[in-house]
Amino acid sequence: MNIDEADTHFAAWMRENLDVAASHFNLEITARPIFGWRLRSISARAHGNQGSRWLRVVSQDPQWAQGDPWTGTLDANSIVDVPKPRVLEVLEWADGRQQRAEVMTLLPGWACSPTDALRSPLALPRTWWSDLKNSLEFLAGTSTDRTNSNQQQVTQRIQDRFGNAVDTAVFRWETVHGDLHWSNLMHSPCGLLDWELWGRGPAGTDAATLYCYSLLVPTAAEKVHEVFADALDTPTGRVAQLYVIARMLRRVDDGDYPDLAEPLARHAHGLLLS
């Protein structure tokens, strides 16, 4: 079986898992399912006795079905003053791999982009940007024992990509979303999706992530920098950007968003010279 055939079979199996979860929660799938990165998750709008919901199933090898990423979406229920979905019910079962289904509330509006990287200009009102900034500032001060990244991870990822001479010291840590790209942001009103990876990380990680995913649309990147200059234009903000770039270039190496390879490398070069 080649890779395309294997992906087709796995996708069909994930649709079956979504149906299993929908049946358990007495929900009816009402929209075309959406697959996550490398088919490891599947989600869809659903309807039940309590109204419309979002149903998500994630599949993982048993040895990885644990720790902060596995419970991140549910753990994020503790964050109450940020516009985000709330997990209402959870189901886990084993079927060769470990499956985790979560029923969540729906956010109003629509995703800012169908892809992680922004590829066309996006008109967002000033209030959207202020709401996002306020949300990230509130999140930054949220107390948690969860970890998005630590100094060892930051140093290793940056120096593996850019060399051992790069200063990777993080002077400020804060609670971050950890995956703040454009398909995880809602438009009209502002909302934040996908909370698997949230936890403590270098200050400015979220601004750095959004900036790097904006590089294909210079006006958007300029706006992100304008709004979050206080987070980006600091020693720790510089390290956060290099860390994000190193992570993203690793995904480029694996075939994801090849059009970002040159802009990311160019931005890293500028940071390393500064």
18-29 pLDDT, tens digit per residue, is 999 999 999 999
Residue 1's pLDDT is 61
Cα angle 165, 171, 177; round to 5: 105
User: Cβ distance 196 to 87 under 8 Å?
Assistant: no
| pLDDT mean over 101-127 | 97
| pLDDT mean over 220-230 | 98
Residue 274's pLDDT is 84
User: Cβ distance 187 to 59 under 8 Å?
Assistant: no
Percent of the chain with pLDDT over 90: 95
| pLDDT mean over 173-185 | 98
pLDDT digits (tens, 9 = 90+) for 69-94: 999 999 999 998 999 999 999 999 99
Specify the higher pLDDT residue, 1 or 186. 186
DSSP state of 60: E
In 105-153, beta strands by DSSP E: 110-111
Residue 258's pLDDT is 97
Per the structure block, which two tokens stand in for 4?
A: 């395309």
Strands 28-29 and 41-48: antiparallel
pLDDT over threshold 90, residue 156:
yes
Residue 3's pLDDT is 65
pLDDT band at 65 (very low <50, low <70, confident <90, very high): very high
Which residues have C-beta within 8 Å of that of residue 50, sequence separation ≥ 6? none
**Alpha-carbon separation of residue 192 from 131, 159, 177, 273 (angstroms):** 11, 31, 9, 33
What is the CB neighbour count within 10 angstroms for residue 142?
A: 18
| pLDDT mean over 197-213 | 98
User: Domains of the chain (ranges plus CATH)?
Assistant: 3-104 (3.30.200.20), 110-273 (3.90.1200)
Sign of CA dihedral 269, 151, 193, 81: negative
Residue 177's pLDDT is 98
pLDDT band at 174 (very low <50, low <70, confident <90, very high): very high
pLDDT over threshold 80, residue 2:
no
Helix (H) or strand (E) holding 56: strand 51-60
Tell me the C-alpha distance between 159 and 136, whole Å.
28
Give strand pairing partners of 98.
60, 94
pLDDT over threshold 80, residue 272:
yes
